[in-house]
Chain A
Amino acid sequence: MAYIPLDDRLPGMRALLAFRPEIAPALMELMQVVMRSNEGLSIGEREMIATYVSALNDCYNCHHIHGEIAQCFFEDRPNLLEQIKNDYSSAPISERLKSILNIAGTVQKSGKWVDSEQIDAAKALGVSDLEIHDTVLIAAMFCFFNRYIDGLGVVSNDTLESLKSRAKIMAEQGYH
């Protein structure tokens, strides 16, 4: 059970936003602006970064839902997100994307751990400043959301079916 009284019919962060509606507009706008853009990183790549960081933080709610959302964008590789959670370095993704996940994984540990060597490696593979900025921001955002959800003891009532159907709607419609 969660540490504060939440509506257990609502999944994950939705239950928290219903408890504290004042914060919902800013939080949802942040999600929408950062996650639902194809400028530089694609929406699928953004969701992949979110999934990877949430898996590192062991946030069950977040890595399951964002993993399913991300998977909607990689239909040609049906188990891609599971592979990335297990070991992205052997997953069938580009070296460019691996260098991006490498930065995201460091941000998960601490902002201070990001070093110029990994940034230079990403830049050498064609990653732009904007993509580096968005990678760091997304990884940092999920260090926030994961802590918010697990820090208040939010429990998941999802089944695989309910996850997949919610993910499909969010992949299509975003976070409005």
Chain B
Amino acid sequence: MAHIILTENLPGIRGLMAFRPQTAKPLNALAEVLLRSDEGLSKGERELIATYVSSLNDCFFCQNIHGAVAAYYFDEDLVKQVKADHSVADISDKLKALLNIAHRVQMGGKYVQEMQIQEARNAGATDLEIHDTVLIAAAFCMFNRYVDGLGTFAPDDAEMYKMRARKIAEETGYSNSKPN
């Protein structure tokens, strides 16, 4: 049960957004600019970073919804590989290096060192891509804590996440998504 009374029976962050629409608006706007751009990192790569960090934070709702969006752009098997061990997943060396940075950010901003940045640069990552990787990883350390810190529930039904993911990818994005 959630730690606060969420009147509408909505899963994950959606229940919180219905509870507090004032904060839902900028949170959705933030998700939109973080994840719905193909400048530098593609939308799929952004969703993979979000999924990977959410899985490190063990946030069931976030890793499943963003994993489903990432799978929309790639495929389910690739998302599974990245969550299991990104260093042997079928992704570019650049994305592996960026996921190493994301992992450090998840542990704490101070864990990011020149070495990981240099490895990403050597693999071809730009300043913008490094910036966006840190930003997305850091933002999911917020979303994950928000969702789990208030004890929201997350359904187990993979189809729900898939349907919702398709809707986000094809129709609403994040800024126009409604809690229900």
Do A and B truly interact? yes
A interface vs B, CB < 8 Å? 3-5, 16, 19-20, 22-23, 25-27, 29-30, 33-34, 57-59, 103, 106-107, 110-112, 114, 116, 119, 129-130, 132-133, 136-137, 139-141, 143-153
Closest Cβ neighbor of A140 among chain B residues = B145
The interface bits of chain B over 10-35 (1 if a CB of A lies within 8 angstroms of the residue's CB, else 0) are 00000010011011011101101110
A140 touches B131 (CB 8 A): no
Using known A-B contacts A139-B149, A152-B131, determine if residue A147 contacts B30 with beta carbons closer than 8 Å: no
Distance between Cα atoms of A28 and B103 in the complex (Å): 26
Q: Contacts of B147 on A, CB cut-off 8 Å?
A: 111
Q: Contacts of A152 on B, CB cut-off 8 Å?
A: 109, 112, 130-131, 134
Distance between Cα atoms of A53 and B25 in the complex (Å): 24
A140 touches B30 (CB 8 A): no
Distance between Cα atoms of A111 and B150 in the complex (Å): 8
B137 touches A151 (CB 8 A): yes
Q: Contacts of B144 on A, CB cut-off 8 Å?
A: 111, 140
CB under 8 Å from chain A, chain B span 68-110: 101, 104-105, 108-110
Using known A-B contacts A23-B33, A140-B142, A147-B109, determine if residue A133 contacts B134 with beta carbons closer than 8 Å: no
Closest Cβ neighbor of A3 among chain B residues = B117
Residue B141 is within 8 A (CB to CB) of chain A in the complex: yes
Q: Contacts of A29 on B, CB cut-off 8 Å?
A: 25-26, 29
A133 touches B5 (CB 8 A): no
Distance between Cα atoms of A47 and B138 in the complex (Å): 20
Q: Could you tell me the dominant secondary structure of chain A's interface residues?
A: helix
Q: Contacts of B130 on A, CB cut-off 8 Å?
A: 3-4, 152
B150 touches A136 (CB 8 A): yes
Q: Contacts of A106 on B, CB cut-off 8 Å?
A: 149
B117 touches A30 (CB 8 A): no
Distance between Cα atoms of A151 and B94 in the complex (Å): 18
Contact for A150 among B19, B23, B112, B148, CB less than 8 A: B112
Distance between Cα atoms of A22 and B141 in the complex (Å): 21
A133 touches B150 (CB 8 A): yes
Using known A-B contacts A26-B33, A140-B149, determine if residue A147 contacts B105 with beta carbons closer than 8 Å: yes
User: How many inter-chain contacts with C-beta < 8 Å in the A-B complex?
Assistant: 150
A30 touches B30 (CB 8 A): yes
How many Å from the CB of B141 to the closest CB on chain A?
5
Closest 6 CB pairs of A and B: A150-B109, A111-B148, A144-B142, A147-B138, A140-B145, A111-B149
Contact for A129 among B4, B109, B132, B148, CB less than 8 A: B4
Q: Contacts of B108 on A, CB cut-off 8 Å?
A: 57-58, 147, 150
User: What are 26 of the A-B contact pairs (CB < 8 Å)?
Assistant: A23-B30, A23-B135, A27-B26, A29-B29, A30-B23, A57-B108, A58-B110, A110-B148, A111-B59, A114-B151, A133-B19, A136-B3, A140-B145, A140-B146, A143-B141, A143-B142, A144-B139, A145-B138, A147-B109, A148-B135, A151-B104, A151-B105, A151-B134, A151-B138, A152-B112, A152-B134
Residue B128 is within 8 A (CB to CB) of chain A in the complex: yes
Contact for B16 among A19, A25, A112, A133, CB less than 8 A: A133
How many Å from the CB of B173 to the closest CB on chain A?
13
Residue B114 is within 8 A (CB to CB) of chain A in the complex: yes
B32 touches A132 (CB 8 A): no
